[in-house]
């Protein structure tokens, strides 16, 4: 287990900027307005030769009730208890405020090791606040500038003895033994998710569909901030867990509203962060609300996942509140087949994030969709299938030109992509391509997964076709007189 450092402090002191500086990527959302970060975000930090885990937390608030600020504070306090050390950040330009003194007392009781840092201390503007930080009684404050990268060497010097002590006391981990494969052994095409490469899942949907609640139920702890308010989640938070023996990394994304309604700059950043999570995922779970399923925005989100080439699983949440379950399920399936024909055959699972019912069926559907998404079909089987499809329904002859489909092969997986070599590919209508794609789904058992079909001209196979044959003089020049003869 690696050393863990939690970054804590008041809102808008630069915690997320410092987090991005340590991980070397712009993972956390950063904005001038306070209170942008709400959930806990973990990342692998690098500081010189030091390697450790850093946690970005929500700004410490003085609220202790059941409000959103109170729930955010409890989540931050939990991160303080989990971490090996805390980096308490104050704003050197604003100086030490009464809230900083209150939180300094809390950290003395909850954390064994606290490192005090005065951020935004570049230039003369932060000198007075740096001196005021001594009054907190947490030792000499570090002079940092997360925006400009100043003071990182001093921070590394403070962390080095702590990380070395944690490394020495950590138990030794037995190295993983690689399995040798003999030349005669058969290597399977599909490799199940393992600890080195966990299954990547993104949960997307409209605001207040229950995405964070569903992930909390899967991992078995209140790791993500939840509540009745819509739009609580802002960052695309990734959580790594072992889901009944399957190493999994789940991305919780912000609720996606209609593009016309997204006017706030922060909401635009949240939606773009969620779209990036979809691109990195392997399976996308589109979470619907049973009370208002298949709204226009739900259809757009599902179509987006299909266009990105991700395996799609539709989950209908809040199923415990539905009375007429059988009638509702029939209506949902009819709507799904009618409104999302591009995802024909994709699994539709009913779940309850609050009670946990249906999670086992959701897990099985995700694993099956992931296996289909990685599937490869032998070329011989594809060409036998193509011959049967041509006999059953030959391609049309537009403008009197006969289109010949000569052979077919699978060029890629994740998602499955196929190439058909044919004559006049530009004249082949889209309806015939859909006929082939639907046949691939039915005959090779690939329901729901996106399938890419490319038509290529056979003329493109030979790059030298149409070139003039070199004469004897050119051959003598390049090959020599004897070889040219």
Binding-site residues for GTP, in ranges, read: 9-16, 56-60, 119-122, 205-212, 252-256, 317-320
Reduced to 3 states (helix: H, G, I; strand: E, B; else coil), residue 193 is: coil
As a whole number of angstroms, the distance between CA 5 and CA 141 comes to: 17
Q: How far apart are CA 25 and CA 81, in angstroms?
A: 26
Angstrom CA distances, 340 to 274, 297, 306, 343, stand at 22, 12, 10, 6
Q: Which two tokens stand for residue 306?
A: 């299909």
Residue whose pair of structure tokens reads 């000569």 in the numeric block: 406
* Secondary structure (3-state) at 333: helix
CB 250 within 8 A of CB 239: yes
Distance between CA atoms of residues 450 and 446, nearest Å? 9
The Cα 469–Cα 465 span in angstroms is 10
Report the run of H or E that residue 339 belongs to, with start and end: helix 325-339
- 3-state SS assignment for residue 356: coil
Q: What is the DSSP letter of 172?
A: P
Task: Give first-to-last CA distance, the chain, whole Å.
Answer: 71
Which H or E run includes 336? helix 325-339
List residues forming the annotated binding site. 9-16, 56-60, 119-122, 205-212, 252-256, 317-320
Structure tokens at 212: 């964070």
Instruction: Give the Cα separation of 114 and 133 in Å (integer).
Output: 13
Residues 211 and 233 sit within 8 Å (Cβ to Cβ) = yes
CA 149 to chain centre: 28
Helix (DSSP H) and strand (DSSP E) numbers for the chain: 14, 15
Contacts of range 361-368, beta carbons closer than 8 Å, 24 or more positions apart: 362/285, 362/313, 362/315, 363/243, 363/244, 363/246, 365/313, 366/199, 366/201, 366/283, 366/285, 366/313, 367/199, 367/246
| CA nearest neighbour of 251 among 238, 262, 241 | 238
Q: Which helix (H) or strand (E) holds 152?
A: helix 152-169
Both structure tokens of 49: 């030769």
> Which H helix or E strand runs over 85?
strand 85-91
Residues comprising the chain, all counted: 485
């Amino acid at each position: 287990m690696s050393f863990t450092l939690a970054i804590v402090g008041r809102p808008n002191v630069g915690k997320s900027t410092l987090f991005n500086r340590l991980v070397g990527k712009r993972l956390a959302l950063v904005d001038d307005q306070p209170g942008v970060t709400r959930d806990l975000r973990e990342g692998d930090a690098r500081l010189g030769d030091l390697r450790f885990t850093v946690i970005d937390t929500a700004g410490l608030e003085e609220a202790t009730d059941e409000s959103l600020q109170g729930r955010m504070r409890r989540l931050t306090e939990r991160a303080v208890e989990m971490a090996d050390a805390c980096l308490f950040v104050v704003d050197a330009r604003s100086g030490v405020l009464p809230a900083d003194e209150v939180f300094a007392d809390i950290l003395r009781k909850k954390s064994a090791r606290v490192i005090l840092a005065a951020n935004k201390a570049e230039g003369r503007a932060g000198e007075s606040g740096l001196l005021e930080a001594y009054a907190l009684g947490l030792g000499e404050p570090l002079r940092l500038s997360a925006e400009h990268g100043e003071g990182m060497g001093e921070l590394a010097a403070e962390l080095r003895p702590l990380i070395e002590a944690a490394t020495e006391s950590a138990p030794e981990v037995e190295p993983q033994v690689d399995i040798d494969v003999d030349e005669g052994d058969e290597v399977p095409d599909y490799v199940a998710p393992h600890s080195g490469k966990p299954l990547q899942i993104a949960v997307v949907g409209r605001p207040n569909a229950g995405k964070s609640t569903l992930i909390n139920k899967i991992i078995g702890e209140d790791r993500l901030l939840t509540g009745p308010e819509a739009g609580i989640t802002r960052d695309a938070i990734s959580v790594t867990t072992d889901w009944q023996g399957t190493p999994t990394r789940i991305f919780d994304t912000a609720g996606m509203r209609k593009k016309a309604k997204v006017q706030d700059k922060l909401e635009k950043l949240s939606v773009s962060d969620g779209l990036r999570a979809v691109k990195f995922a392997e399976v996308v779970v589109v979470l619907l609300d049973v009370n208002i399923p298949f709204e226009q925005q739900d259809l757009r989100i599902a179509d987006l996942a299909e266009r990105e080439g991700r395996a799609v699983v539709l989950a209908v949440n809040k199923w415990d509140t539905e009375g007429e379950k059988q009638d509702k399920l029939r209506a949902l399936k009819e709507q799904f087949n009618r409104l999302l024909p591009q995802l024909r055959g994709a699994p539709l699972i009913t779940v309850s994030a609050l009670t946990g019912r249906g999670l086992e069926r959701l897990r099985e559907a995700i694993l099956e969709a992931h296996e289909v998404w990685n599937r490869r079909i032998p070329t011989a089987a594809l060409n036998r299938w193509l011959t049967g499809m041509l006999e059953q329904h030959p391609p049309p002859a537009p403008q009197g030109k006969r289109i010949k489909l000569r052979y077919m092969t699978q060029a890629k997986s994740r998602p499955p992509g196929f190439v058909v070599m044919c004559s006049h590919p530009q004249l082949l209508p889209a309806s015939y391509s859909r006929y082939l794609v639907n046949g691939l789904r039915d005959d090779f058992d690939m329901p729901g997964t996106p399938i890419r079909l490319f038509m290529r001209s056979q003329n493109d196979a030979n790059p030298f076709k149409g070139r003039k044959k070199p004469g004897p003089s050119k051959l003598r020049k390049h090959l020599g007189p004897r070889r040219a003869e």
